[in-house]
Amino acid sequence: MFDKKRPKKANIFLLSIILGSIYLISSCAPAPTKVKVTAPVGERPARIKSVNAILGAPGKEAAIEITSSKPAPYTAFKLAQPPRLIVEIDALPVKGLTGPAVFDGRIIKAIHFQSIKDKPLCTRIIASLSQDVEYDVQENDGTIKVILSPKRPVEEVGKPVLAAKELQEDIQKLRVKVLSGDGDLSSSKEMAKKLRNMGYKISLIDYAPRSNFSQNTVYFAAKFQNEAKRLVLSLGGNAICKPITWSSIFDLIVVTGKTP
């Protein structure tokens, strides 16, 4: 009987070893780790911290200053009827921010904000204007400054026309003589033709006392220096002007030269 029980004890011992091995293996295996996957967070949009209306000399200059938390893309432009200055900026106003009060409506009447449907992270800043303006935009480290000044009126067309008419009348009053200073009378005739086309009335065409003038020279009587300078500019080239130092009945004397 003793021999028959031994195998049973051996089997029990072997079973204990197997069960112990299984326990040790299971207790040493690492537990599964839960990995939390975090979606990448997009960069936060810029925030409009303040919008101020800055007034310069009354009726002469004003400015809109927009300060944001960081530099942001923007577009500035004008609209007419009624006149407005628009700044569209890729930023959102901080909570509670409203348009600034405007105490002088000579240039800026009011400023307000407007959201843009197709651009949820963009804000439209609208400045209602009392008149048409010229504007200049300056940017520095998150601050946009739009300087406004009244648009200069277009000069009346009649004024330059009137000035040209008066100038033509003054030219026609001048007493002008044309002399050949290169020994060839045809040069003085050509000069006289040119001056007539400019509106000058030529009183006399003749030879100069000498024929070695190197350039066209306009001699002027007292009080007619400005007229001489104007004619020299019109002639161009190497033309010069000099005062008349002898007695003469002419206001201007034009002498042709060999190298005009």
Domain ranges of the chain: 46-150, 158-256
Segment 198-219, tens digit of pLDDT: 889 999 999 999 999 999 999 9
Burial (Cβ within 10 Å: 0-12, 13-18, ≥19) of residue 244: middle
The answer to which of 15-24, 168-177, 180-189 has the lowest mean pLDDT is 15-24
Decide: helix, strand or coil at residue 195. helix
Element spanning 29, H or E = none
**pLDDT digits 0-9 by tens, 113-164:** 999 888 899 999 999 999 999 999 998 888 999 999 988 765 544 455 546 6
Q: Helices marked H in the chain — which ranges?
A: 2-28, 158-173, 185-198, 225-235
Architecture (CATH level 2) of domain 46-150: Sandwich (2.60)
Nearest to 148 by CA among 65, 48, 72: 65
Per residue in 78-98, pLDDT tens? 888 899 999 999 999 999 998
CATH entry 3.30.70.2390 includes domain 158-256: yes
- In the chain, the amino acid numbered 95 is K
Instruction: Tell me the residue length of the chain.
Output: 260
**Cis peptide leading into 71, omega within 30 of 0?**
no
pTM: 0.45
b/e map of 13-47 (b: 16 or more CB within 10 Å)? Answer: eeeeeeeeeeeeeeeeeeeeeeeeeeeeeeeebbb
